[in-house]
């Protein structure tokens, strides 16, 4: 059996772009060409899984990554891996178990998805960025020196920011009526929101590097191509509906109430813990999440890689803030 590169959560937000991008990169890499790509999914019957299964070099396997053991990794000869973990309260336990098994199975390199860099600290009021901080501290310990890793710290995902605006437009076009527009962003704070595909493409290029040691223990901040504010989103909506938006609630995190009631209340998760998510956007409201924070190493990687630079230029044209808005409207139908 040949060596394998594992994509955990291949049908998820960021994993899809990794699985679509990586095969082409391996074809042009003499040292990695021939490596299998294992795309994990919890449902091999999903439309995305069917799509990925058609890509030459990609093998779709139905397997929950949290149940993967060191023996499983050895059996499939996994040498590199991508992982985008959930943000549930048990994240640290499950993600750290995966890395411990990867270390035991002699996996060489892992690219993981973290969260907004300004929040990844031990005193973040929201619970899940503290888990990411703890995972990075664990991987940075001497005990894990044999497992090389890169942690990508992306800014807020654009669909999360844009979806309330899209739904607002859809309802107005259908009924002519307006509800309160509830936006997570502040009115004036610039935020470099990012599309999940952008993150997956960067992850794929890191996984395809000949020398991963130059990215070992790195924490790279990723942003989209331009900043956007809540006021700009309101302006975009008004141009689409041809009317002023009557009522806007900025810095609105009331969706967390619904999230708790529908997803967590029945599981007896701590309400205090889950509601701490409401504090996560504070750094964005304070202006700490603009495109100016993008890691220089990511910009350097763009300049050093002609294929990636071309992608990024095209992507910036397509997914600038205004076009991200239009793309989300198109996706929603």
Name 157's bridge partners.
194
**What is the rounded CA–CA span in Å between residue 321 and residue 317?**
10
If one counts every other C-beta atom within 10 angstroms of the C-beta of residue 35, the result is 21
pTM for the model stands at: 0.90
Length of the chain in terms of residues written: 333
Residue 243 and residue 173 in contact, taking contact as beta carbons nearer than 8 Å = no
- Render each residue's pLDDT in the chain as its tens digit; 333 residues: 689 999 999 999 999 999 999 999 998 887 888 899 999 999 888 999 999 999 999 999 999 999 999 999 999 999 999 999 999 999 999 999 999 999 999 999 999 999 999 999 999 999 999 999 999 999 999 999 999 999 999 999 999 999 999 999 999 999 999 999 999 999 999 999 998 998 999 999 999 999 999 999 999 999 988 899 999 999 999 999 999 999 999 999 999 999 999 999 898 899 999 999 999 999 999 999 999 999 998 878 776 666 565 655 555 544 454 454 455 445 544
Q: Name, in order, each residue with C-beta under 8 angstroms of 316's C-beta and a sequence gap of 6 or more.
A: 225, 226
pLDDT at 257: 95
pLDDT at 307: 59
pLDDT at 319: 45
Q: How far is CA 203 from CA 113, 177, 323, in A?
A: 9, 42, 23
Task: Give burial (CB, 10 Å; 0-12/13-18/19+) of 246.
Answer: exposed
CA 282 from chain centre, in angstroms, equals: 19
pLDDT at 305: 67
pLDDT at 312: 58
- What backbone phi and psi angles, to 5 degrees, belong to 86? -70, 170
**What is the rounded CA–CA span in Å between residue 70 and residue 77?**
10
Residue 273 and residue 210 in contact, taking contact as beta carbons nearer than 8 Å = no
Task: Give burial (CB, 10 Å; 0-12/13-18/19+) of 178.
Answer: middle
If one counts every other C-beta atom within 10 angstroms of the C-beta of residue 270, the result is 11
Name 248's bridge partners.
181
pLDDT at 82: 98
Q: How far is CA 113 from CA 18, 88, 105, 252, in A?
A: 12, 14, 21, 25
CB pairs under 8 A, 24+ apart, for 58-64?
58/19, 58/23, 60/10, 64/40
Q: Name, in order, each residue with C-beta under 8 angstroms of 134's C-beta and a sequence gap of 6 or more.
A: 92, 122
Residue 19 and residue 39 in contact, taking contact as beta carbons nearer than 8 Å = yes
Comparing CA positions, the residue from 240, 242, 185, 207 lying closest to residue 107 is 207
CA angle, 174 then 179 then 180, to 5°: 145
């Amino acid at each position: 059996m040949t060596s394998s590169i594992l994509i955990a959560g291949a049908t998820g937000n960021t994993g899809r772009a990794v699985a679509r991008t990586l095969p082409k990169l391996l074809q042009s890499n003499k040292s990695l060409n021939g490596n299998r790509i294992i795309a994990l999914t919890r449902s091999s019957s999903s439309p995305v899984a069917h799509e990925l299964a058609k890509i030459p070099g990609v093998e779709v396997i139905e397997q929950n990554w949290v149940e993967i053991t060191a023996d499983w990794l050895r059996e499939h000869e996994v040498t590199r891996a991508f992982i985008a973990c959930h943000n549930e309260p048990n994240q640290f336990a499950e993600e750290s178990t995966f890395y411990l098994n990867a270390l035991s199975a002699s996996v060489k390199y892992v690219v993981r998805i973290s969260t907004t860099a300004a929040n990844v600290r031990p005193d973040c009021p929201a619970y899940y960025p503290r888990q990411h901080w703890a995972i990075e501290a664990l991987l940075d310990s001497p005990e894990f020196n044999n497992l090389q890793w890169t942690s990508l710290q992306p800014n807020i995902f654009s669909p999360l920011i844009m979806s309330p605006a899209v739904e607002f437009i859809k309802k107005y076009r259908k009924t002519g009526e307006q509800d309160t527009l509830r936006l997570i962003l502040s009115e004036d704070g610039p935020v470099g929101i990012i599309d999940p595909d952008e993150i997956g493409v960067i992850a794929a290029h890191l996984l395809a590097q000949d020398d991963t040691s130059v990215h070992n223990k790195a924490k790279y901040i990723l942003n989209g191509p331009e900043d956007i504010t809540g006021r700009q989103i309101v302006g975009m909506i008004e141009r689409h509906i041809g009317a002023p938006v009557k009522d806007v609630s900025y810095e609105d995190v009331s969706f967390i109430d619904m999230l708790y009631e529908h997803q967590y209340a029945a599981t007896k998760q701590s309400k205090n813990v889950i509601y701490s998510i409401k504090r996560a956007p504070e750094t964005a409201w304070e202006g700490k999440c603009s495109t100016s924070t993008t890691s220089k190493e990511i910009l350097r990687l763009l300049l050093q890689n002609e294929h990636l630079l071309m992608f990024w230029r095209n992507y910036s044209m397509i997914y600038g803030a205004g076009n991200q808005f239009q793309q989300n409207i198109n996706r929603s139908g």
